Structure 1
Amino acid sequence: MVPPRSNGGGDTMNDAARKIQRVYLTLTLGNTVAASFIWGINTLFLLDAGLSNLEAFAANAFFTAGMVLFEVPTGVIADGWGRRVSFLLGTVTLAASTYLYYVLWQISAPFWMWAVVSVLLGLGFTFFSGAVEAWLVDALRFSGYEGGLESVLGRGQMVQGVAMLLGSVAGGVIAQATNLGVPFLLRVLVLLAMFAVAFGLMHDVGFSPERSTHPLRATRAVLSASIENGLKNPPVRYVMLAAPFSAGVGIYVFYALQPFLLDLYGDQKAYSIAGLAAAIVAGSQILGGWLAPHARRLFHKRTSVLILGGVVGGVILLTLGSTRIFWLALVLLALWAVVGSAATPVRQAYVNDMIPSKQRATVLSFDSLMGSSGGVVIQPALGRGADLYGYPASLAMAGVIELVAVPFLLASRKQGAPADRATTSETETDQETRP
């Protein structure tokens, strides 16, 4: 009996697919809890270590530079050695580099040391980006799942939001009760626990790593094929070209909101307020993840969701930059986060439905690289803007930059890719029958 096909937002999930989804959600929960312990206080942590606004956001820029530098090589590792191997390497690397951050804070290290360790933090995250998502999509398809990817990815984002809510609030409260360094140590401990969980539960399904006796040749082959299916594929290319503007702004805004809200609140030591900012973003992710499949059903094309999200997000940031009222800033922050969170699973599904399995992790890593490259430039530039003109002005500038992504999304829409309209199963069939 052939399982019923789904519309763009629903899903028909068998037992094997449910098991894959449970593992994916478990990994997402643990990793996000670990990461989010410091998200609400990271900028305050850097400033407390003696860095200026420019240096703090430059350190974040080195983090994103590390992601740019290592995204493709780690994506090749995921495609060539396995997504499980990549995940395990990520937990170890991120735990070690987080502990080094704690050491630098204790010794009030010079900026160049922060820059080096920030690059290593970026390396740790690149082992996850692309690999987990590629593992999920291939395993679901191998299990016979034919529903829309928005449903599963939306659930993942909801779990990510819950984890971020717990981790960021806990991090802010713990930092206020102890000191700014303790949440970093908690991140290390949870990451080590996640290594054990992934070692036992995560196995490559529906994908066979192509190990080669000539690793450099294999790397070149995978990278070449990934470029062919990524930047040389027009609808994918334009989505990737939009990423530096939207992702770069997202990274800056998330971290700039910490000191911005503390200024509005009037207490520079209220670290729990900084944690509240991250918690609001987390709660918005939960709502956005739930809204994603519903938004997919409301619009005929996936790019409609992405374009509307880019325009509304940019306008909200422009408005946020002009407010001086604390509670109104919180409301605008929540709206901005909901809009971006609802669009994210739709974007993920759109891109995944346009790339083949063998190069999936590398193409997704290259997509992440494009987003990170925007952060390398945008974060220090807007950080400098905050030094010169204040955080409100820098947030308004961020809104203008986010709007620059919209023309690229319109260009992707004009390509008429089947993935823009079709369900996951229909797109997969189209890819399999294409010459």
Structure 2
Amino acid sequence: MHAEHMASTAATTPRAIQTTYLLLTGSTTLATSMIWGINTIFLLDAGLTNLEAFAANAFYTVGLLLFEIPTGVVADLRGRRLSFLLGSAVLAASTGLYVLLWVWDAQFWAWAAASVLLGFGYTFFSGAMEAWVVDALRSAGYEGELDGVFGRAQAATGVAMLAGSVLGGVLAQLVGLWLPFVLRSALLLASLVIAAIWMHDLGFAPVRQRAGEAMRGLLRVSIDVGLRDGRLRWLMLAGPFVGGSMGYVFYAAQPYLLELYGDSEAYALAGIVAALVAAAQIIGGILAAPLRRVVRRRTTLMLVALIASTLALVLAGLTTSFWIAVVALAAWGLALSTLMPVRRAYLNAVIPSQQRATVLSFDSLLGSVGGFVQPAFGRAADLQGYGVTIVASSVLQALAIPFIVATRRRRDPVDAREA
């Protein structure tokens, strides 16, 4: 009994909680990133046009919008752990369905339905892991700033993304485009087992409430605590512009760089390029905490990172050089990766614990709204080429800058280093 008590106590220390958080973040990213370097190529190989491929991604966004609030009920009322387990299971199943559709030469409507299912799976993740680690750390007496925690998690995500992207691209070229998808399903199931053993809801008490009433309440909370709260409103409204641009560029970069390189079947190269973006993400995550010690205000870092990443996209879209485009996209990834952990820490410093997963999910939902530009950008890529649409995505991202400026003008205490 004494040994069991010691093990239980060790599992609830701030260090153990952060280790579990990093392990789950890294394992799920390793799984999901197996296809990131080849996803668009996979859809095009299945017979879809650019318009249809990016429309399928838009249906993924539909899944996010439809299920973000309902699955938020699971995280905030039943537990963050349960939400994570369900997300892993649904994503594993929907990824396997993608492989079957590729084998069957399925029609577009089937891809659209499968993409909605993928979005459904991801909604179980959004907000749940962040809410879990913040509540668990506070229950364990952690008194440090969250910027470093999220920065380390982003670095771990980058390492996993680098490994997954390279491995997925190499396996696609050596064996077939289907193999990374099969491995992704298997790794997601492995993450499910890890979470079932080591992830426990700390600092959180389940709430008994009817689902319909809970959903109405969570939607109301999302608006009241999110958009109606002046401390969060403008920062959250910047999400659709950054999310829409980021979602399109990440997937358009795959065929665009192969086009510049001159070999549309260099799948391994596509994976390596995605890994370079991941390497930039690692550096950005590592830099987040040191930069916060130097720069007094979080919004200063956000503005500089947003402007730098926007300029990098302009260069990536205008150049005709493969290597310049690679460097520009790496710079884009580095800048955004510095912004994201700082933004997450700002949000978590404001949101109350009981509503944390709900409001973070709502913030993720707003970011997903920008994904509806993908069919339009995909059609423009068919007509004008990828370079034009990447420049257009930089304009979309730049529209977020005034919202960060509005957040900065509030001079909220959580914006300062001392907070």
Question: Normalized against structure 1, the TM-score is what?
Answer: 0.92
After the TM superposition, which of the residue ranges 309-318 and 38-47 deviates more from structure 2? Answer: 309-318
Q: How does 1:376-391 map to 2 (within 5 A)?
A: 377-391=372-386
**Structure 2 match to 1:431:** none
What's the counterpart of residue 136 of structure 2?
A: 139
* Gap runs ≥5 in structure 1: 1-13, 427-435
| 1:55 match | 52
Answer whether contact 1:175 1:183 (CA < 8 A) is retained.
Answer: yes
- Structure 1 residue 417 displacement after superposition: 1.9
Task: Provide the rounded CA distance (Å) in 1 between the counterparts of 2:257 and 2:213.
Answer: 50
Q: Which amino acid in structure 1 is aligned with residue 85 of structure 2? A: L
The yes-or-no answer on 1:276 pairing with 2:272 is: yes
Structure 2's unaligned 5+ residue stretches are 1-10
Partner of 1:7: none
| CA-CA distance at 1:300 after TM superposition | 1.7
Name the SS of the counterpart of 1:230 in structure 2. Answer: helix
- Please give the residue correspondences for 1:208-223 in structure 2 after superposition, counting only pairs within 5 Å: 208-212=205-209, 214-223=210-219
Tell me if 1:169 matches 2:166. yes
2:360 maps to a residue whose letter is L
Aligned to 1:410: 405
Contact 2:296 2:416 in 1 (8 A): yes
Distance, in Å, in 1 between the alignment partners of 2:267 and 2:190 is 27
Moved over 6 A (4+): none
Alignment of 1:123 onto 2:87: no
- CA displacement, residues 177-206 of structure 1 (integer Å, 9 cap, x when unaligned): 011011100011111111111101100001
Pick the aligned partner of 2:101 from 104, 107, 122: 104
The alpha carbon displacement at 1:77 in A equals 1.2
What's the % identity of the aligned pairs? Answer: 54
The Cα shift of 1:216 comes to 2.1
2:317/2:389 contact within 8 Å kept:
yes
| Structure 1 residues 68-83: aligned runs within 5 Å | 68-83=65-80
The correspondence for 2:319, drawn from 319, 323, 328, is 323
Please show how residues 156-305 of structure 1 align to structure 2 within 5 Å. 156-212=153-209, 214-305=210-301
> For 2:218 and 2:206, how far apart are their aligned partners in 1?
11
Match in the other structure for 2:39: 42
Q: Secondary structure at the match of 1:229?
A: helix
Contact 1:86 1:128 in 2 (8 A): yes
Whichever residue aligns with residue 367 of structure 2, its letter is G
What amino acid is aligned across from residue 314 of structure 1 in structure 2? T
Whether the 8 Å contact between 1:76 and 1:223 is mirrored in structure 2 is: no
Offset of residue 422 of structure 1: 4.8
Residues 34-93 of structure 1, C-alpha deviations (whole Å, 9 max, x = no match): 100100000000000000001000001111221122112111210010000000000110
Post-superposition offset of 1:297:
2.1
Deviation, 1:301, is 1.1
Using the TM superposition, give the Cα deviation of residue 15 of structure 1 relative to its aligned residue in structure 2, in angstroms: 7.7
- The CA deviation at 1:219 is 2.9
Partner Cα distance (2:79, 2:262) in 1 = 49
2:352 partner amino acid: P
Describe the superposition over 1:327-372 as per-residue Cα deviations: whole angstroms up to 9, x where unpaired. Answer: 1111111111000001110000001111100000000000000010
1: CA distance, partners of 2:399 / 2:219: 28
Whether the 8 Å CA contact 1:289–1:341 is kept in 2: the answer is yes
* SS of residue matched to 1:249: helix
What is the alpha-carbon distance in structure 1 between the residues aligned to residue 34 and residue 98 of structure 2? 14
1:235/1:411 contact within 8 Å kept: no
Question: Letter of the aligned partner of 1:398 in structure 2?
Answer: S
CA deviation map 1:204-235 (0-9, x unaligned) = 001112122x3322332333223211111123
Contact kept in structure 1, 2:69 and 2:215, CA below 8 Å: no
**Cα distance in 2, alignment partners of residues 116 and 300 from structure 1:** 46
Shift of 1:322: 1.0
**Counterparts of 2:294 and 2:417, CA distance in 1:** 14
- One-letter amino acid of the structure 2 residue matched with residue 48 of structure 1: D
2:293 touches 2:417 (CA, 8 Å); kept in 1?
no
Measure, in 2, the Cα distance between the counterparts of 1:115 and 1:265. 30
Amino acid at match of 2:249: V
SS of the residue aligned with 1:234? coil
**For 2:48, what is the secondary structure of its paired residue?**
coil
- One-letter amino acid of the counterpart of residue 123, structure 1: F
The aligned residue for residue 351 of structure 1 is 347
Native 8 Å contact 2:298 2:417 kept in 1: no
Aligned residues: 409
Partners of 2:153 and 2:285 within 8 A in 1: yes
Aligned to 1:97, what secondary structure does the other structure show?
A: helix
Q: Distance in 2 between matches of 1:17 and 1:230?
A: 28
The answer as to whether partners of 2:81 and 2:199 remain within 8 angstroms in 1 is yes
Q: Distance in 2 between matches of 1:50 and 1:262?
A: 18
Contact 1:76/1:361 (8 A) holds in 2: no
Matched to 1:83, the amino acid is R
1:170 deviation in Å? 0.3
Mean Cα displacement is larger for which, 15-24 or 50-59? 15-24
1:83/1:15 Cα in 2 relative to 1: closer, same or farther (>3 Å)? closer
**C-alpha root-mean-square deviation of aligned residues, in Å?**
1.2
Give the conservation status (yes or no) of the 8 Å contact 1:280–1:334: yes
Q: Confirm or deny that 1:371 pairs with 2:382.
A: no
Residue 420 of structure 1: aligned partner: 415
Query: Which residue identity is paired with 1:378?
Result: V
Aligned residue for 1:364, secondary structure, equals helix
